[in-house]
Structure 1
Amino acid sequence: MTGSSSFLKRTGLRLNYRTIGVILLFLFRQEQAHAIDPSRAVGQYLRQQWQVESGSTAIRINAIAQTPDGYLWVGTDENLLRFDGFRFEEIQPHSEGLAPIRHVLNLIVDSGGALWVRTEDSRVLRYKNGSFKSLLSPEQGESTVTAIGKPLGEGIFASGLSYGLVQVTEKGIQQIHRNAESLTLAIVQTTDDLWLGTRENGLLNWSHNTLNVMNQGIPDLKVNSLLATSSSQLWIGTDGGLAHWDGHKTVSDVLPAEMNSLQILTIVQDRDGNLWIGSSRGLIRYNSRGAQWMPRDARDRGTAVTAVFEDREGNLWFGSGGNLERLRDSPLTTYGNPEEAAGDQYGPVYADSRGRTWFAPLTGGLYWMRDGITHPVVTAGLDKDIVYSIDGRGDEIWLGRQRGGLTRLDAVGDIIKAKTWTTANGLAENSVYAVHLNRDGSLWMGTLTSGASHFQGGKFHPFDVGNGLISNTVAAIEEGSDGTMWFATPRGLSALHGLAVKSYGTTDGLASSDVVSLLADPQGGVWVGTTGGFSFADKGQIRRIDVPLRSPETVVGIALDRQGLLWLATTMRVLSVRRSALLQLPLVAGAFRSYGMQDGIHSTEGVRRNRSVVADVAGNIWITTNRGLSASSPSVSRPSPIAIPQVEGVMSDGVALPTSGEVRIPAGAHRLTFNYAGLDLRSPERVRFRYRLDGFDKKWSPPMEGREAVYTNLVPGKYKFRVVAANMDGQWNPVESAVSLYVQPLLWQRWEFEIACVGILLLMAVWIYRARMRYLIVQANMRFEERLIERTRIARELHDTLLQGFISASLHLHVTAESMPPQSPIQGSLQTVLQMMEKVIEEGRNAVKGLRTFHGTRRGLEQMFRELISELGAEDAAGYSVVVEGELRSLRAAVYEEVWRIGREAVINAWRHSQARQITVRFEYSSARLTLSVIDDGRGMDAAMIHRGRPEHWGLQGMRERAARMGARLHIESRPGQGTRVVLTIPAAIAFHDDMRDRKLASTGLGRM
């Protein structure tokens, strides 16, 4: 090892192309994430905690790092752990020449993406591509390594008692300075210099081959941590407090007095400029707003923070005792209950141009908030009334009240003046539910029973059902970009343009006639929220938007932010979606994002009040829920880093297999399990996966949350398992993780053996099939022959007895009628009876003719079923449909009749008895069978009724008998309240004409049908 006078220059330039690629990829991913918002109070970050244990004992965390594959690495007093957002996995060297890792002191990820590990037993290990390599250890001549640091170039810096200060790379060790007189605890490199923090000698600076002591102004000579924030800026953490080197001098009174004497253990600066300080008494955030403690509770009061790290997603991780904790921004911030406010259930909200947010609790009163400080409004009796709606401009605030009419507040600074209008001043009623301030300064208000009013020039002008309004109950009012006034009512939507009024309902495209909320789009049109869904009205046309709502779910609030995100609050959820995506057809799957407790809101239930969701001048969205007032940040629209998929393991019948190279699956394995992860530490619970096994799956699996894929009884051969991941925004990573495998065959799974078996089985199957078809055709012909004989006998008996009797009676009546005088009073009755008997005789002849031979009709069965609904006298056939699948084939006459009668009985039962709204008749023609399905959504039947039928009704029994007679299978599925499904399946050999086959069968005496 030799020294070098140009060391700093070379370390800054020693970057190969592969290293540069890794750095660029990592920086690209970081640019997509946002860090911890410095404008929030520390207590407003989302905080989550995992306990790191060895057995039942918590173990201290000493170091945290993240490799480019997305895994978080945690070094503890007992082991090295890898964390994927859900579980910790202990990682140990597999090489026989390396001892297990027991006590980790430092972790560094170098510019090439390798992980460097410093352990208590004076080893420095390098981990990359799944394997460890020892590059500095007592066996290699270094007795004790006291610190490692990250250079601007390759590898790491290390300081040891034997070698002194060195740079360690994969190629070897290069000495920088002997440094025998100091025990180094921290190493950091700036653009110009190398800085060393020591245990007893304070702060040292290595520059131009010279080691300089820089102790002036530092609070203590034991330097535990160093952080370089620019080319010459340096933060110094000591046992006696925090100091800052500004390039010329050291300043030690940066923190407030109560924090000055703390033992500083670690320092990190995030990408938004927040300085995070781990001390002996907890975590501190320091930025331009000052220093703040991380709120502590009984679990962590006074616990030292020994490791702090910011990951690629912008999360802040820190180790506090045996706990690994995460801080992150949330898309929404919920403000706690102000002591003055009654409860946390708020109704209307309004954000003015002065940075104030006005809100009203559901129980009464009015408040305004700025910078998190809440002020009550008690003027004009507002503290004793309920405010229904708020709107305004500048210092002018308009309020609609439950009992107090209409109130205007002039809020200049902290001075608030009020003026109120009631019925005594011409107001239609004192309960004003909705107020809207127009661009021209006039005001519209809506009431619950007296319609709307336009307040202009000091006078109220009514607008109610007498003027064309569709209902006198007005829930919301909006002014469109073209000046059209829109009114939401429980009977539909009314639009007033000039003097013309037009109303819209469900027949015009509204999701429901009960309209609850409105939002005028600045680009034209209006968004409409109802109790049954979401719609968009523009230029006289209304289009329903397929929002993934559950029933019953009402859209109670709508707002649009500056980034083009449309926010919806419903009675069950809070959603956002890009406006541009809503106007596309069809709507892109996954376009909507749903927000929950993990996003910073305390409840997902919106409040049904006018203007419960609004946008402020800064682009934030304010939402009132039944558990607080929440605000979004413009950063919510920034995309999250892509999730990195990783196949973590392969198991065969519960035995883990090595995943390096091609995985060989033992012969006879029954169950193959793939474990995988999607590395997105910001919201790992929202990562979605798709996977496929090439050689088995024909397409990718649907998106799912599961982190395990199971395959059973795979045939021998080569496969490739692939998995991709999507982050919380639904963005899929184009890079997949894959593992190749080979399932080894058993002796009897060889291809020669399989071909012989397949040949034998094919011959047997053909013989069995032909024999079975012949048997079925013979049986069917016999049944149809018997049936034809019986029908002929019945027709003959009817003709010779009943029909002849009717004819004889008719002749006698004719004789009687002819013998009566034309003027006889009973002549008319006799003629009527004769006409009736002629009709009965004609119908009898047709019945006898039908019994002898069923000629059917030239129309197809499908057309007959389509016309059946009109025969039943149905006035509305919208719920009835006939569907045909497959290529139509000609049916045998007897089969034609039986299918018609069975299907007709099923449709009649569904129409008359099940109270069905939807009835579907489906024909499926295939080479193997004919299938008739009759499906309804009626009230269904229980098992007893399916088996026995309705009392004194024989329809189901008759259907079964007809199916059995022709060798078909009838299956009935039904449950009370879940509809009924009747399925008739007829083998092709029985159902269809086949002229060539019929001629062959006729030659054997089996073809008569």
Structure 2
Amino acid sequence: MRRWRMRLLGLAMLMPTQAVTAGTEGFKHSSWTPEQGAPGNLVGITQSRDGYLWLASTEGVYRFDGLSFERIPLPRDSRFANAIPTSIFRDRTGTIWVGFNQNAGAAIYRSGRLVPVPMRDAPPSILKFAQTRDGAIWASWGGQGDRLFRYFKGEWRLMDYVVGLPPGEIASMATTADDSLWVSLGQSREVGSLARLPWGASRFVAAPDRVGFTMLGRAPDDALWISDGLGTRRIRDRLGTATSGDRIFPAVPGAAVPSLAFDRRGGIWGTTRGVGLFRIDPAAAVPLERLQAGRLLTSDATIETFVDREGSIWVATDAGLDRYRPVAIARIPLIPPDVQDGLKMARAIDGTVFVAAAHRLYAIAPGTPGRVVQDGVGRIGALCPAVDGGVWAVHAGRVTRDGGGESIGFALPPDRMTPTSCAQDRDGRLWLDGEGAIWTGARGAWRQVPSAGTGGGVMDIVPDPQGAGVLVNTGAADLLRLTPEAQGRISARQLGIGPIAALWSSGAGVYASGAGGIARIQGGRVQRIGTAANPWLAGVRGMAQGSDGAAWFLARSGIVRVAAQDLDQGFARPGAGIAHRTFDAHDGYETRGQAISFRGAQVAAVGDGRVIVATRAGPLVADPSQLGADALPPPIHIRSLSAGGTRWRDPSGRVVLPKGTHTVQIGFAVNSLAVPSRNAAYFRLEGQAGDWTGAGNRREATYTNLSPGRYVFRVIGVNADGTWNRDGQTLAFEIPATFLQSWKFKLICLVAALALLWIAYRIRVRVLARQIRSRLLDRLRERESVARDIHDTLLQSIQALMLRFQFAIDGLPANHEARPDLDDAMDRADMVLAEGRDRLRDLRRTEGSADPEAALREIARRQLAGTAITAAVRSSGTARPIDVVAWDELASIASEVLFNVARHAHASDVSVELQYRPGGLMLRITDDGIGIPAEIAREGRRGHYGIPGMRERAARFGGVLMIERRREGGTQVTVTAPAAMVYRAGAREDSQDR
């Protein structure tokens, strides 16, 4: 702040390091007119905390994110129907206030819309706002009568008579650091006055200053400035104390009620309302610069100025919006371009850069804007540093040293060509190019270097940092290394960059560039960086390293800066990309490098850190001190949410969207206004799969096919300087489910689906059961048919045959020796016949399905005959008719089990139970014998098929057979079968356990 004040006081007439160009040099001008969507007739500018530029216009209220203008609807109150905005202001809390005409009063921006601030007896218009320490808002209008109003604790109050406001039209209001409220008043267009209301005082105090009708401007150091017919000057310091002896800058003829803004380089910008824009640079020899329509200005009717958070100056005009952004690249007004002979540059050992242009020699010393060293020197063919100070210049047939103490000069070598390249080695010898040759010598004693091998000529000569000679670029792929006695080469294979386009020295190294990249010769070795990962390095014209070690390249794409550590890493890893920053037209580089025929250094570093670049538009200066002037993260703002035809502006909290919403659009902004096109945004939606998405040039995200649920939208961004805002902003929203999307409906659908599946399953089971039953019934009928045939034929024939044998035996004498054998055979035949009848009865077991319990008793009696085992047979549940096929298999299983009990169980009791259940039928046979081994229960006895056969029989009617060894002794065999397979339709009979 002290340095800034010193500028304004004019105590130092030299341009400081931070600002070496005068006027608008160093500022990039941009403009927006109605053709680009900007409103016209602007009357006020401010900036909100979220980074938007807010504009008051006769066309309405707008906010601007650097890319698009968004119109904010006026309040719905009828008072604002025909009113237009007349002022705009941001208070300390960040609230945006808008003043209106037509006695509408004021409105504030809240929750995405302008809300009226009720004001009884509002003035015809509100032109200015101010705020004091207590948070009170002061508003004024520019007419007579009731002029000053105060809003405090939700109430407006007229203050003219309360605080003793002096007469006159209020032009502007401002506060100083001591919280005094200052008012500038006007008695006419030429005569005005000042009044002050100290903090805590009850009455205004008139100031004795002689002023015109003007506005107050508050400088960065909180001092008050005015501009009127007497000039532009400071009238009060930050505490409101009158100043004396301050410099008065010239007035601008025709300016009416100027408003002032102060840039970060010490300049003062002022409007005129009709004769353009002016800028005052206190450190310049001619401090006042005028801008008018057609020269970096859209209209002469300039109304308001404003400085944004990044240091840009904004100007409101009746034709649109102008911006003057401080940039790191600027022209040097002192030195003109030279398209005929080209610029020549060389850096002396004291950090001064000498520039030859238009028959003059200039010197740019550290901390100075530059000066003319010699005028009328004619065409300078070559310029190179002298080892003992100053530079060597080739002109008018001589070589002279300038700027290094004693002036020395001597004639050029006897060559038909005027040298275009020169260098002085560490031993003080000068080297000059000639026609197919190179000359070297000191104080005019020249000799030609033998076998120079220059071929078509020499393009660049630089001192060899490793020897007493020079390195020479002839445009070939090899680099010559020359000494007075010998020559050598650095081969193209070592360089690895193709034909050499340029050669220069910087620091302790020599650099060469070509289509394949750049090479560095330093410390006895060659390193390179290729263009595969760094395409911007192709065809570099030159480079210089600033005081911080950063390298500044003149490339085809613009001026490229690479940090020192990044450059070293690039040479260490030649295949990797290098972090860099390119300065192009957005940064003040609106031209290109000189023609390739103009040789010598194209980039040179001043000792104070500035870098000079030779271009077709003249020398440009790159000032590293202007880099990162605003390292603040860019504000990220979610400006809208749209869904189902409804739009929420500046949504906050959790937004509940209409039921059934499938598509949402979310608008956002990265509010760095410096170079908005370089801002980048990345977004993601939590609640939906996906990673961060780059927004590109879009500032809206669209999501489709969203399901009901809760979502969180996140957006982050980075500005043109590479400063990130990784916190970004979030928006939570919820999509309620419709009935068809609700869990209740889904549950109903699930239950219905399960029911349909169950029905389908039951139908399928019934069909399969019917098919199985039909096949088994066919087999059963075939069995019965076979049994009848055997009974009706074989058994009856055998019985008839036995009857005949019996007749024959009866005819034999009682003592016949064959009679006992025949009687025994007949007994055996009776037994076989009885067994055959039993087997036939087994084949016809279907008859037992009518009374399963009785049939089981009969099976038990027959299978347990001849044993001491007692059998108990009973049934339980509601009796149901059993399918004959299923009963046949069930009875066979019961017969097999009881047969095994009789033969193997060594039991005394056996229980047979038949249970009728709603879900099916269960047959359980339990004995109290020795029990069955577990392995036999699982797989049966090897070589026997009783147990596997029982399991197969159970499976035929959908049943399951289980054989278990009981803990208390014995074996339990259980057969269960589903109702659909064992029951058949018919009348039910109720029975009790018995």
Matched, 1:517 2:502: yes
CA shift, 1:90, in A, is 1.3
Asked if the contact 2:471–2:481 (Cα under 8 Å) also holds between the matched residues in 1, the reply is yes
Asked if the contact 1:53–1:59 (Cα under 8 Å) also holds between the matched residues in 2, the reply is no
Letter in 2 for 1:581: D
Asked if the contact 1:694–1:720 (Cα under 8 Å) also holds between the matched residues in 2, the reply is yes
Asked if the contact 1:668–1:745 (Cα under 8 Å) also holds between the matched residues in 2, the reply is yes
Letter in 1 for 2:477: R
Tell me which residue corresponds to 1:690. 682
CA shift, 1:557, in A, is 0.8
Letter in 2 for 1:83: F
Matched, 1:593 2:590: no
Tell me which residue corresponds to 2:164. 179
Tell me which residue corresponds to 1:303. 300
Asked if the contact 1:63–1:107 (Cα under 8 Å) also holds between the matched residues in 2, the reply is yes
Matched, 1:480 2:465: yes
Letter in 1 for 2:259: T
CA distance in structure 2 between the partners assigned to 1:397 and 1:438 by the alignment: 13
Aligned partner (choices 37, 61, 64) of residue 80 of structure 1: 61
Aligned-partner SS, 1:422: coil
Matched, 1:42 2:15: no
RMSD: 4.6
> Per-residue CA shift, 1:438-491, capped at 9, x if unaligned?
4554334456743x5543465446656679x99985634244389885444522
Aligned-partner SS, 2:277: strand
Aligned-partner SS, 2:591: coil
Aligned partner (choices 326, 330, 339) of residue 333 of structure 1: 330
Tell me which residue corresponds to 1:286. 280
**Residues 453, 692 of structure 1: CA spacing in aligned structure 2 closer, same or farther, 3 A cutoff?**
farther
Map 1:142-161 → 2, pairs under 5 A:
145=126, 147-152=128-133, 154-159=135-140
Letter in 2 for 1:647: I
CA distance in structure 2 between the partners assigned to 1:720 and 1:464 by the alignment: 77
Aligned partner (choices 637, 640, 657) of residue 646 of structure 1: 637
CA shift, 1:717, in A, is 3.7
Tell me which residue corresponds to 1:189. 175
> Per-residue CA shift, 1:409-453, capped at 9, x if unaligned?
44699x9985332236xxxx8454432234554334456743x55
CA distance in structure 2 between the partners assigned to 1:53 and 1:515 by the alignment: 48
Letter in 1 for 2:175: Q
Tell me which residue corresponds to 2:907. none
**Residues 40, 123 of structure 1: CA spacing in aligned structure 2 closer, same or farther, 3 A cutoff?**
same
Aligned partner (choices 705, 709, 713) of residue 713 of structure 1: 705
Tell me which residue corresponds to 2:321. 324
Tell me which residue corresponds to 2:857. none
After TM superposition, the structure 1 stretch with the greater mean CA deviation from structure 2, 87-96 or 73-82, is: 87-96
Asked if the contact 1:315–1:682 (Cα under 8 Å) also holds between the matched residues in 2, the reply is yes
**Residues 496, 239 of structure 1: CA spacing in aligned structure 2 closer, same or farther, 3 A cutoff?**
closer
Aligned partner (choices 140, 145, 151) of residue 168 of structure 1: 151
> Per-residue CA shift, 1:315-337, capped at 9, x if unaligned?
00111223211112222123579
Letter in 1 for 2:268: L
Map 1:839-988 → 2, pairs under 5 A:
none
**TM-score of the aligned structures, taking structure 1 as reference length:** 0.60
CA shift, 1:244, in A, is 3.9
Tell me which residue corresponds to 2:901. none
CA distance in structure 2 between the partners assigned to 1:228 and 1:335 by the alignment: 27
CA shift, 1:43, in A, is 5.5
> Per-residue CA shift, 1:199-222, capped at 9, x if unaligned?
3372112236364654544243x4
Matched, 1:51 2:51: no
Tell me which residue corresponds to 1:992. none
> Per-residue CA shift, 1:890-935, capped at 9, x if unaligned?
xxxxxxxxxxxxxxxxxxxxxxxxxxxxxxxxxxxxxxxxxxxxxx
Aligned-partner SS, 1:272: coil
Unpaired segments ≥5 residues, structure 1: 1-33, 764-1009
Asked if the contact 2:413–2:444 (Cα under 8 Å) also holds between the matched residues in 1, the reply is no
Asked if the contact 1:66–1:72 (Cα under 8 Å) also holds between the matched residues in 2, the reply is yes
Aligned partner (choices 377, 381, 385) of residue 387 of structure 1: 381
**Residues 696, 479 of structure 1: CA spacing in aligned structure 2 closer, same or farther, 3 A cutoff?**
farther
CA shift, 1:575, in A, is 1.5
Tell me which residue corresponds to 1:218. 210
Letter in 2 for 1:195: W
Matched, 1:443 2:427: no
CA shift, 1:308, in A, is 0.7
Asked if the contact 2:682–2:715 (Cα under 8 Å) also holds between the matched residues in 1, the reply is yes
Asked if the contact 1:565–1:637 (Cα under 8 Å) also holds between the matched residues in 2, the reply is no
Tell me which residue corresponds to 1:104. 85
CA distance in structure 2 between the partners assigned to 1:748 and 1:476 by the alignment: 82
**Residues 479, 66 of structure 1: CA spacing in aligned structure 2 closer, same or farther, 3 A cutoff?**
farther
Aligned partner (choices 740, 758, 773) of residue 732 of structure 2: 740
> Per-residue CA shift, 1:229-251, capped at 9, x if unaligned?
656x4323457765542466577
Asked if the contact 1:480–1:486 (Cα under 8 Å) also holds between the matched residues in 2, the reply is no
CA distance in structure 2 between the partners assigned to 1:150 and 1:394 by the alignment: 62
Tell me which residue corresponds to 1:312. 309
Matched, 1:198 2:198: no
CA distance in structure 1 between the partners assigned to 2:656 and 2:509 by the alignment: 62
CA distance in structure 2 between the partners assigned to 1:647 and 1:35 by the alignment: 40
CA shift, 1:303, in A, is 2.5
CA shift, 1:91, in A, is 1.4
CA shift, 1:560, in A, is 1.0
- How many residues align structurally? 704
Asked if the contact 1:559–1:566 (Cα under 8 Å) also holds between the matched residues in 2, the reply is yes
Tell me which residue corresponds to 1:277. 270
Tell me which residue corresponds to 1:887. none
Map 1:813-832 → 2, pairs under 5 A:
none
**Residues 733, 106 of structure 1: CA spacing in aligned structure 2 closer, same or farther, 3 A cutoff?**
same
Aligned-partner SS, 2:502: strand
CA distance in structure 2 between the partners assigned to 1:271 and 1:84 by the alignment: 22
**Residues 482, 723 of structure 1: CA spacing in aligned structure 2 closer, same or farther, 3 A cutoff?**
farther
Aligned-partner SS, 1:638: coil
> Per-residue CA shift, 1:155-209, capped at 9, x if unaligned?
5333479987565356656887433653533222223433222233721122363
Unpaired segments ≥5 residues, structure 2: 1-15, 758-994
CA distance in structure 2 between the partners assigned to 1:656 and 1:439 by the alignment: 73
**TM-score of the aligned structures, taking structure 2 as reference length:** 0.61
CA distance in structure 2 between the partners assigned to 1:71 and 1:82 by the alignment: 6
CA shift, 1:306, in A, is 1.4
Asked if the contact 2:18–2:626 (Cα under 8 Å) also holds between the matched residues in 1, the reply is no
Aligned-partner SS, 1:314: coil
Tell me which residue corresponds to 1:603. 591
Tell me which residue corresponds to 1:69. 50
CA distance in structure 2 between the partners assigned to 1:680 and 1:344 by the alignment: 41
Give the percent of matched residue pairs that are identical in Structure 1 and Structure 2.
20
CA distance in structure 1 between the partners assigned to 2:270 and 2:407 by the alignment: 43
> Per-residue CA shift, 1:327-383, capped at 9, x if unaligned?
1222212357978x653783532355696642357xxx665477578788654xx43
CA distance in structure 1 between the partners assigned to 2:618 and 2:340 by the alignment: 5
Letter in 1 for 2:722: G
CA shift, 1:704, in A, is 3.2
Aligned-partner SS, 1:264: coil
